[in-house]
Structure 1
Amino acid sequence: MSAADEGRSLGQLVASATAEMSALVHDEIALAKAELRQDVKRGALGSGAAIGAGVLLLFSLPVLSFAAAYGIHNLGLGLAWSFLIVGGAYILLALLLLAWAGLKFKKIKKSQGAQKSIASAKESAAVLSNVKPHPRASEDGAKESPALEHVTRSSV
């Protein structure tokens, strides 16, 4: 204890500790809010940059498609066949991506972990909704816990 604390009563020390703890909690909450705000700002800037990159990539697709078609045309094929080859390549790529997405969606449907978790949470909520927090005194004066009675009756 410090020299300033020796003249204070136990109640004053507890009140002081409680006030300091409250201030500490408020400061921790303020720090968490500031850190969260900074993370959101970084996320927004990163998302903006990713969207900009996506737009530029989308704009480059027609240019690259024309370049590929004219490159194939320079190999000796007709211009129409060159464009058909490039278009077919895009269709093939889209079908491959669609098949890959279908495989990923099938894995989601087969996973029942989330459904089991939801069922378990509902069961826990049903059990806890019947539990009373304080034990009651029985007729013979002994205390009995309605929570224990409910649990033992439901598990038998």
Structure 2
Amino acid sequence: MSTAADSTTTPVVETTRVPGPGKGRSIGELVASLSEQFSTLVRDELQLAQAQLAEKGKRLGAGAGFLGAAALVAFYGGGVLLAAAVLGLATVLPAWLSALIVGVVLMIVAGIAALLGKKKIDASKEFAPKPQEGFKEDVDAVKKGIQK
């Protein structure tokens, strides 16, 4: 009984042979390989540094957003407080008291948003990308590899 699997041929796959003992690569091949690997390493380290800087930018952006929200809420709170002052001076009715309470609540919200924004910006200062550490580790690894 013949199946379609029996009639197919296996594809030829080219493989790279690893030299046996005493048949190592030439110095030129080693230098070319080292150069290629080093350029790949440098490229990868630069991509890591770019990613770290992007993360820091995101954190700074979030802090700036909270500070912007705090400024906007404080602006409206100031407007309401002005309206409360006007109503309070114009008449001695409970309407000014309600406007004053709303204004104070808005100012509290603005203060909380400002504290959150400051906290986010301070947190972004603690995050310091250090791509030079990766380069140092890579150079040390290459040195150890050469010494062997």
TM-score in terms of structure 2 length:
0.40
TM-score in terms of structure 1 length:
0.38
